């Protein structure tokens, strides 16, 4: 019960990693505020949590800063303080830049980068007023290596990691910690519902579960470690490939073959082959 009595706002909380994170915090005693755009899925998500006195659902678009300010205020009014913010909501329009509309690329930047930065700034006074606060930004291994075919998505995750690390330095020595959680492919609808459009190389890394990502989020909230990544070896390889682009070019054919095999196996397991 590491988070008994603490209040946490989680974006993108109606499914996938966000919902798993809400369940984990709730199981460890936290008051959880579930934020997503649609009320119906939020209500369904909240119904899976046993003690509804510690649950608040707020239908809101993370780009609507006025509405999100109301969410933060409502959490503080109900429970007296805000201790944590998990920026989990994300968007990925897949494909090369030249195949996407400019508006789609701008929307990815807005949801994946602009919103977390703005929401963190809005939550910061509340977090600083609490006895201990934290911000967890859910990034990606795509934020550790320039990913062609997902250039804009990769750029937003690079940016969110940089923001996380820089803000952590700004807040060093205060009661607020900032962490990034960087998973590889995650077995949620974010990828699996669109698996044919996902690049083969993405599946060169083992697929983790939403619960495994949620565990990393809670561990970062607890100890303030700057970044957790999964798989660890995949993160190391991504760093090497970023520093030495020729390594990535050499390894790419074999990684794509491995990813293609793993992708086919996943599709067969789900009856999609």
Q: What is the 3-class SS of the chain, one letter each residue? A: CCCCCCEEEEECCCCHHHHHHHHHHHHCCCEEEEEECCHHHHHHHHCCCCCHHHEEEEECCCCCHHHHHHHHHHHHHHHCCCCEEEECCCCCCCCCHHHCCHHHHHHHHHHHHHHHHHHHHHHHHHHHHCCCEEEEEECCHHHCCCCCCCHHHHHHHHHHHHHHHHHHHHCCCCCEEEEEEEECCECCHHHHCCHHHCCHHHHHCCCECHHHHHHHHHHHHHHCCCEEEECHHHHHHHHHHHHCHHHHHHHHHHHHHHHHHHHHHHHHHCCCC
Q: What is the pLDDT, as a whole number, of residue 220?
A: 98
Q: What is the pLDDT, as a whole number, of residue 273?
A: 64
Catalytic residues: 153
pTM of the complete model beyond 0.75: yes
- Please say if the pLDDT value at position 197 is more than 80: yes
Q: Interior CA angle at 125 toward 64 and 213, to 5°?
A: 65
Mean pLDDT along residues 232-249: 89
* Model pLDDT for residues 6-24, shown as the tens digit of each residue: 999 999 999 999 999 999 9
* Model pLDDT for residues 15-72, shown as the tens digit of each residue: 999 999 999 999 999 999 999 999 999 999 999 998 889 999 999 999 999 999 999 9
Name the more confident of 128 and 202. 128
Q: What is the pLDDT, as a whole number, of residue 48?
A: 93
Instruction: Sort 92 into a burial class: Cβ within 10 Å, 0-12 / 13-18 / 19+.
Output: buried
Distance CA 20, CA 185 (A): 16
* Model pLDDT for residues 136-167, shown as the tens digit of each residue: 999 999 999 988 889 999 999 999 999 999 99
* Model pLDDT for residues 129-140, shown as the tens digit of each residue: 998 999 999 999
- Please say if the pLDDT value at position 214 is more than 80: yes
């Amino acid at each position: 019960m590491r988070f008994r009595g603490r209040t946490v706002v989680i974006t993108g909380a109606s499914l996938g990693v966000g919902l798993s994170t809400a369940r984990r915090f709730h199981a460890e005693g936290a008051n959880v505020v579930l934020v997503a755009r649609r009320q119906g899925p939020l209500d369904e998500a909240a119904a899976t949590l046993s003690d509804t006195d510690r649950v608040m659902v707020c239908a809101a678009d993370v780009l609507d800063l006025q509405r999100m300010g109301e969410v933060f205020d409502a959490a503080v009014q109900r429970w007296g303080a805000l201790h944590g913010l998990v920026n989990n909501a994300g968007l990925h329009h897949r494909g090369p830049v030249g195949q996407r509309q400019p508006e789609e690329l701008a929307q990815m930047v807005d949801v994946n980068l602009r919103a977390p930065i703005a929401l963190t700034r809005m939550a910061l006074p509340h977090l600083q007023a609490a006895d201990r606060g934290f911000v967890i930004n859910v990034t990606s291994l795509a934020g550790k290596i320039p990913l062609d075919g997902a250039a804009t998505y990769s750029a937003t995750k690079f940016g969110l990691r940089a923001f996380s690390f820089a803000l952590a330095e700004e807040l060093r020595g205060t009661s607020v910690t900032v962490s990034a959680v960087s998973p590889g492919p995650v077995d949620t609808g974010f990828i699996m519902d669109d698996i044919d459009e996902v690049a083969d190389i993405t599946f060169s890394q083992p697929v983790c579960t939403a619960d495994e990502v949620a565990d990393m989020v809670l561990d970062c909230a607890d100890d303030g470690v700057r970044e957790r990544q999964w798989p660890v070896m995949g993160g190391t390889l991504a760093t090497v490939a970023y520093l030495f682009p020729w390594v990535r070019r050499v390894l790419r054919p074999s990684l794509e073959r491995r990813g293609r095999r793993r992708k086919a196996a996943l599709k067969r397991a789900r009856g999609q082959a």
